[in-house]
A and B are shown apart, each in its own frame.
Chain A
């Protein structure tokens, strides 16, 4: 197991360097020496100009430039933004990355679970009328033209119904006299969510050994509500009680983007789960499970779905990049100030250092997500686990 992870990690590091090189070369290949654009920018003071040239080694040969870029990347120093001058590229990213990460993880988890659940039901009810309809809906949401769909969602829920805010990260009028910076509040929220999920995960692990299935389920459900109850106290302590109002505002703004991406992203998982489940249901051990007198639900969840999970996870790993693409669009449409919006803006306004840095960061982010999914896959499949031991 360990060997497998180490192997994977080494591979990831190699790919990571390759990716950095490629992303630099890509920008380097832009015709007309893109860095010269900064000459035309009157808002940049001369010292910034000098510094940028020195930082990127723009007057030196390619091999040196490449080397400098990689070193700078690790030093976290990628120069000033051309457009928002006093800020550096890294500062901008540090501000935006958590927002994207949050949106991305929530959406991913939701989309995977709903997709898997729906696919499971579809395969189980093969041939029924509800199956046909859910399949058609899933195919529609799998192939729907995403920006269009997102705009319609925005129109319907935001404008027509007025249930949710139309885009943006927060309501500015509420924050005028706020004692907190929005990023501080947001980090507090992320911290809370991480603690919550870790605690719940620990509970799941602890209850794994309970023999009675009903008891196990009830304990898990109960502890989930207990955690929710405790969170109530958590948000009432000290500074957090004042932050609560602002955190609520941010959470309110996340509803629509999360809902929209989830609707689009779940379908791929659902359709694939259906196919794999249908293959699995023909296997002999399903018959064994039935002969053992297990309940339908248990056969479906424990035997069929558990085995079908493996290929679904594999393909999910492959689609992580697609979901990152999806959140890039989401950010643009819902004016969610994250990495996706940053990269599109910087590309359109030819803010080269920022575009370059954010592209590299998105790539690294994809790489890490890929790696994590890979490792969790190894945990799921005992065959890999064993092979790497011996």
Chain B
């Protein structure tokens, strides 16, 4: 009997899921966001797959300890301290140009070398090639592999912190709404306080004095996110559900408080909580990247770290000349955070009746 009920229930759930997805598809920006998120999800899963199937060998492609040297044929030129522009170069910075090498730099290792000779040169960072789709960084590591690793970090951290955060705020929000009184007042003041904490300086302090791992950060972000403003929003949603007739009828028919809370109020708050979850992933990804960018996170590889390295080595100041070190990581953070945000907006547009078109 129970199993029959369950399967019926499941098919019903499946139906409603399908219907909701069809609704969601109406929102173009939501679908765009979903595509972006799925793309990065694929990237994150692809890397272990490539390693396990030995398509990529770890010594070359490992994001942290891999190494590969790219060789190019470079012409030896001499850059003198003369007045620029010269016929070949506009400014001193342009010499040596691509596929050229300054004689001063190679002469000590290659006795008897002359201007105009062609020699084999190792280059790091190497520009994109068929072997390294996004080139290598200053230590000869594959940028594409780093990007995939960063994607894994972002997903784990974003989702973990969002789940923790939403779990806490849903629980506290419904409790505040259902029990009211002193508990409610206390929880609301607590949210006010947490809202006013300057998050970033706080994270600076925590991370500087305690070695922060990724999952520590996820927990910290989750807890702060969960205690803050979302409790207030979820509480007001729960309050609206609480006065609905079906809650009254459940009470009259003798449902216990716990049962009403779990089987009636929670499911009705869940959509809003889900929305919050999606939005909070955006924030979590940004926080992680900022901390690892500032070098405050104990982590081997992440998007923030990639940018931090590129900045420390001065490649960002050279702009688009080393674009493969500058653009991919920054765009990845932006796009994935934006992707989650767009999914949230799409959900909001479709399921929030006040925004629906007609």
Residues of A within 8 A of B (CB): 11, 14-15, 18-19, 22, 26-27, 30-31, 34, 135, 139-140, 142-149, 151-152, 155-156, 159-160, 275, 278-279, 282, 318, 321-322, 324-325, 328-329, 332, 340, 343-344, 347-348, 350, 355, 358-359, 362-363, 366-367, 370
Cβ proximity bits B47-60 to A, threshold 8 Å, 1 near / 0 not: 00000000000000
Shortest Cβ distance from residue B349 to the other chain A in the assembled complex, whole angstroms? 9
With contact pairs A30-B209, A159-B317, A318-B229 given, residues A329 and B334 touching in the complex (Cβ less than 8 Å): no
Whether the pair A275, B355 counts as a contact (CB closer than 8 A) is yes
Shortest Cβ distance from residue B320 to the other chain A in the assembled complex, whole angstroms? 9
In the bound complex, CA of A363 to CA of B316 (Å): 33
In the bound complex, CA of A344 to CA of B294 (Å): 9
Shortest Cβ distance from residue A185 to the other chain B in the assembled complex, whole angstroms? 28
Shortest Cβ distance from residue B115 to the other chain A in the assembled complex, whole angstroms? 30
In the bound complex, CA of A61 to CA of B178 (Å): 41
Whether the pair B286, A15 counts as a contact (CB closer than 8 A) is no
Cβ proximity bits B331-353 to A, threshold 8 Å, 1 near / 0 not: 00110011001100100000000
Please, could you name 10 A-B residue pairs with CB atoms under 8 Å apart, sorted by A? A22-B193, A30-B209, A147-B307, A148-B293, A148-B330, A156-B319, A160-B319, A322-B199, A328-B200, A343-B204
Instruction: Let me know if B38 is at the binding interface, CB within 8 A.
Output: no
A151, A278, A344: the one within 8 Å of B204 (CB): A344
With contact pairs A15-B192, A156-B319 given, residues A143 and B338 touching in the complex (Cβ less than 8 Å): yes
Residues of chain B within 8 A (CB-CB) of A343 are 201, 204
With contact pairs A279-B355, A350-B208 given, residues A321 and B316 touching in the complex (Cβ less than 8 Å): no
Whether the pair A325, B200 counts as a contact (CB closer than 8 A) is yes
Residues of chain A within 8 A (CB-CB) of B303 are 145
Whether the pair A19, B193 counts as a contact (CB closer than 8 A) is yes
Whether the pair A145, B208 counts as a contact (CB closer than 8 A) is no
Closest residue on chain B to residue A139 by CB atoms: B338
Residues of chain B within 8 A (CB-CB) of A34 are 209
B197, B229, B333, B345: the one within 8 Å of A148 (CB): B333
Shortest Cβ distance from residue A138 to the other chain B in the assembled complex, whole angstroms? 11
Whether the pair B205, A347 counts as a contact (CB closer than 8 A) is yes
Whether the pair B341, A143 counts as a contact (CB closer than 8 A) is yes
In the bound complex, CA of A145 to CA of B316 (Å): 14
Whether the pair B319, A321 counts as a contact (CB closer than 8 A) is no
A142, A275, A278, A347: the one within 8 Å of B208 (CB): A347
Shortest Cβ distance from residue B305 to the other chain A in the assembled complex, whole angstroms? 12
Whether the pair B334, A145 counts as a contact (CB closer than 8 A) is yes
Residues of chain B within 8 A (CB-CB) of A19 are 193, 196-197
Residues of chain B within 8 A (CB-CB) of A322 are 199
Residues of chain B within 8 A (CB-CB) of A160 are 319
Instruction: Let me know if B326 is at the binding interface, CB within 8 A.
Output: yes
Residues of chain A within 8 A (CB-CB) of B337 are 143, 145
Instruction: Let me know if B80 is at the binding interface, CB within 8 A.
Output: no
Instruction: Let me know if B289 is at the binding interface, CB within 8 A.
Output: yes
In the bound complex, CA of A22 to CA of B319 (Å): 43
Whether the pair A142, B204 counts as a contact (CB closer than 8 A) is no
| Residue from the set B209, B289, B293 with the largest chain A CB neighbour count within 10 Å | B209
Whether the pair B334, A144 counts as a contact (CB closer than 8 A) is yes
Whether the pair A363, B198 counts as a contact (CB closer than 8 A) is yes
Whether the pair B205, A26 counts as a contact (CB closer than 8 A) is yes
Q: 4 smallest A-B Cβ distances: which pairs?
A: A148-B330, A145-B333, A325-B200, A143-B338
Whether the pair A15, B341 counts as a contact (CB closer than 8 A) is no
Shortest Cβ distance from residue B94 to the other chain A in the assembled complex, whole angstroms? 14
Instruction: Let me know if B177 is at the binding interface, CB within 8 A.
Output: no
Instruction: Let me know if B148 is at the binding interface, CB within 8 A.
Output: no
In the bound complex, CA of A145 to CA of B311 (Å): 14
In the bound complex, CA of A332 to CA of B199 (Å): 16
Whether the pair A321, B193 counts as a contact (CB closer than 8 A) is no
B197, B316, B334, B354: the one within 8 Å of A143 (CB): B334
B198, B316, B355: the one within 8 Å of A362 (CB): B198
In the bound complex, CA of A159 to CA of B311 (Å): 14
Residues of chain A within 8 A (CB-CB) of B104 are none
Residues of chain A within 8 A (CB-CB) of B229 are 318
Whether the pair A27, B205 counts as a contact (CB closer than 8 A) is yes
B196, B199, B319, B326: the one within 8 Å of A159 (CB): B319
A15, A328, A347, A362: the one within 8 Å of B193 (CB): A15
| Residue from the set A26, A142, A147, A159 with the largest chain B CB neighbour count within 10 Å | A147
Interface residues of B in 81-98 (CB under 8 A from A): none
Whether the pair B197, A321 counts as a contact (CB closer than 8 A) is yes
Closest residue on chain A to residue B308 by CB atoms: A147
Instruction: Let me know if B175 is at the binding interface, CB within 8 A.
Output: no
With contact pairs A15-B192, A142-B341, A321-B196 given, residues A148 and B329 touching in the complex (Cβ less than 8 Å): yes
Whether the pair B333, A363 counts as a contact (CB closer than 8 A) is no
| Residue from the set B205, B307, B341 with the largest chain A CB neighbour count within 10 Å | B205
Whether the pair B330, A152 counts as a contact (CB closer than 8 A) is yes
Shortest Cβ distance from residue B226 to the other chain A in the assembled complex, whole angstroms? 15
Residues of chain B within 8 A (CB-CB) of A350 are 208
Closest residue on chain A to residue B293 by CB atoms: A147
Closest residue on chain B to residue A32 by CB atoms: B209
17 further A-B contacts with Cβ under 8 Å, apart from A139-B345, A347-B209, are A15-B193, A26-B205, A26-B206, A27-B205, A31-B210, A139-B29, A139-B342, A143-B282, A145-B304, A145-B307, A149-B334, A152-B330, A318-B229, A321-B196, A332-B294, A347-B205, A350-B208
Shortest Cβ distance from residue B175 to the other chain A in the assembled complex, whole angstroms? 21
Closest residue on chain A to residue B33 by CB atoms: A139
In the bound complex, CA of A27 to CA of B317 (Å): 37
Residues of chain A within 8 A (CB-CB) of B192 are 11, 15
Whether the pair B196, A367 counts as a contact (CB closer than 8 A) is yes
Residues of chain A within 8 A (CB-CB) of B307 are 145, 147-148, 151
Closest residue on chain B to residue A355 by CB atoms: B205
Whether the pair A348, B208 counts as a contact (CB closer than 8 A) is yes
Interface residues of B in 106-128 (CB under 8 A from A): none
Shortest Cβ distance from residue A43 to the other chain B in the assembled complex, whole angstroms? 20
Instruction: Let me know if B139 is at the binding interface, CB within 8 A.
Output: no
Residues of chain B within 8 A (CB-CB) of A325 are 198-201
Residues of chain B within 8 A (CB-CB) of A363 are 196-198
Instruction: Let me know if B247 is at the binding interface, CB within 8 A.
Output: no
In the bound complex, CA of A359 to CA of B189 (Å): 21
Instruction: Let me know if B290 is at the binding interface, CB within 8 A.
Output: yes
Residues of chain B within 8 A (CB-CB) of A144 are 334, 338
Whether the pair A359, B330 counts as a contact (CB closer than 8 A) is no
Whether the pair B195, A321 counts as a contact (CB closer than 8 A) is yes
| Residue from the set B196, B204, B326, B354 with the largest chain A CB neighbour count within 10 Å | B196
Whether the pair B316, A151 counts as a contact (CB closer than 8 A) is yes
Closest residue on chain B to residue A30 by CB atoms: B209
Whether the pair A18, B193 counts as a contact (CB closer than 8 A) is yes
